[in-house]
């Protein structure tokens, strides 16, 4: 929904399906008039034991670049347990979040009604091509 909102406000959308942050960074415009929103879904991977050693530094590099440009917005999506594990493993990554005043928002799934959870689950089934 956030990406759709920014797209409706004239932002170009940058998204990766393979998790290659360097490709995203290369695709960004340096033109100050070109508004861009960068969306990294599941930015740290699905399991904290699969975290690449370089993932923290790649993310902080991208976030630093975006922070220097008022026409860019970065949206990172991750499970809280995986984010906390990444912060625990990677001190520079943890310090970046503490010192750069990055806004962290959490969606508490306990506050979502069962019907909304069912819709999310249905979406996962459809996305993974699992027969319903």
Which residues touch 56 (CB under 8 Å, ≥6 apart)?
86, 89, 90, 92, 93
The predicted model gives 44-63 an average pLDDT of 72
pLDDT-derived band at 47, boundaries 50, 70, 90 = low
Rg of the chain taking only CA atoms, in angstroms:
16
| pLDDT above 70 as % of the chain | 91
User: Helix, strand, coil shares of the chain as percentages rounded to 5?
Assistant: 50, 10, 40
| The pLDDT of residue 88 is above 80 | yes
What band does 50 get if pLDDT is binned at 50, 70 and 90? low
- The pLDDT, as a whole number, for residue 12 is 93
């Amino acid at each position: 929904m956030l990406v759709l909102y920014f797209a409706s406000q004239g932002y170009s959308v940058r998204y990766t399906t393979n998790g290659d942050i360097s490709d995203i960074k290369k695709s960004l415009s340096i033109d100050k008039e070109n508004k861009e929103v960068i969306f990294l879904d599941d930015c740290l991977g699905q399991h904290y034991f699969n975290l690449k050693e370089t993932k923290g530094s790649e993310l902080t590099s991208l976030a630093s670049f975006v922070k220097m440009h008022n026409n860019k917005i970065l949206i990172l999506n991750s499970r809280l347990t995986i984010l906390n594990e990444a912060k625990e493993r990677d001190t520079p990554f943890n310090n970046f979040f503490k010192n750069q005043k990055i806004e962290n928002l959490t969606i508490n799934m306990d506050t979502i009604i069962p019907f909304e959870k069912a819709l999310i689950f249905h979406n996962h089934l459809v996305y993974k091509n699992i027969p319903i």
